[in-house]
Structure formats: C-alpha cells, structure tokens
C-alpha cells in the first residue's frame, strides 16, 4: 500500500453571517446554533460567526460533564447530541438557564424539536431556520419557522411559516 494523498473540504459560512448575528444580538435576540456538525466543527463555526464570543471560555460537554445549577457568566457551552440522549426536560431547562451562548452539535431531528420546546418553556419566542427534512419537526414547532428557498427541501418549505 502506498499513501497517495489526503483531501478535505470546508463549507464556510457566508460572509454576511457575522454581521447578521451581531445585528440580532444588538436587537436583543439570543442566537444559538443547532447543527448536525461535529462538536469541534460546530464550535469553530460558532466562534467564527460570533455565536460564541471569542473572550468566553468554552465547555464542550461529554457524558460526564455536570450541568451547572446557576448562570455561568463568561462561559459558553457546546453540547453534542449523544450527551442529551437520556436528558429529561429539567436537564435542558437547567442548561438553558446556565448558559447564554450555546451550540448544540450532532443533533437528531427529535433533539432539535426537544431544544425548541425547551426554549419555549423558558418563555422565549423561538424562530428556527432550516433547509432539510431533518429540520422539519423543529420548523413546525417553532413560533416562526423559516425555510431556505433555493437550497431547501420541499418538506422543510411545507413545515415553515416563511420561505427566504
């Protein structure tokens, strides 16, 4: 056997995303990220676009990481879906109360729905953007579901309240 080479690909965020995140924050909108990406990829993108502030300490949860009982100023969380597999509503509610900046990675469609419901229980008006079939349950449950027009699946468009 002979090693011939290595290839990698990147799907970078659009250049307008950091400004959009900043404008949302300025308007008092809390931006979180829920993705199917690997936690390392997810947190890197979240830092690049400003969902996680560069000055905040980041905790990437694993199955042994305890959920804090109080607000954690200056700390952001990245929570992979496998960590949430056995979570109850109270666990998610505690996480939402503890962290201002959260990225959920490697999430399933059911977990995306669970996260939307958690933020709604916390009294938030929830908007969800998505383009795939796996986003459809969360798009439907959100107070406003926003599907992507050109790249979006037909299922996501049907589940959404609005199409961009």
Summarised one tens digit per residue, pLDDT across range 77-110 is 999 999 999 999 999 999 999 999 999 999 999 9
The dihedral formed by the CA atoms of 48, 52, 58 and 60, expressed in degrees to the nearest 10: -80
In whole angstroms, give the CA distance from residue 18 to residue 29. Answer: 14
| pLDDT of amino acid 156 | 87
Q: Which among 133, 86, 76 has a CA at the least distance from the CA of 111?
A: 86
Share of the chain above pLDDT 70, in %: 100
Strand, coil or helix: 85: coil
Helices vs. strands in the chain: H and E counts, helices first: 7, 7
């Amino acid at each position: 056997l002979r090693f011939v080479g290595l290839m990698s690909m990147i799907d970078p965020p659009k250049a307008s995303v950091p400004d959009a995140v900043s404008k949302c924050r300025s308007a008092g909108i809390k931006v979180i990220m829920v993705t199917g990406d690997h936690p390392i990829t997810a947190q890197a993108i979240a830092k690049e676009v400003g969902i996680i502030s560069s000055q905040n300490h980041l905790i990437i949860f694993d199955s042994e990481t305890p959920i804090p009982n109080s607000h954690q100023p200056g700390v952001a969380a990245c929570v992979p879906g496998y960590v949430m597999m056995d979570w109850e509503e109270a666990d998610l509610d505690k996480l939402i109360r503890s962290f201002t900046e959260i990225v959920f990675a490697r999430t399933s469609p059911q977990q995306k729905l669970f996260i939307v419901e958690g933020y709604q229980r916390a009294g938030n008006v929830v908007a969800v953007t998505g383009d795939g079939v796996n986003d459809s349950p969360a798009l439907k449950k959100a107070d406003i579901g926003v599907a992507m027009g050109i790249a979006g699946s037909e299922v996501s468009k049907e589940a959404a309240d609005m199409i961009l």
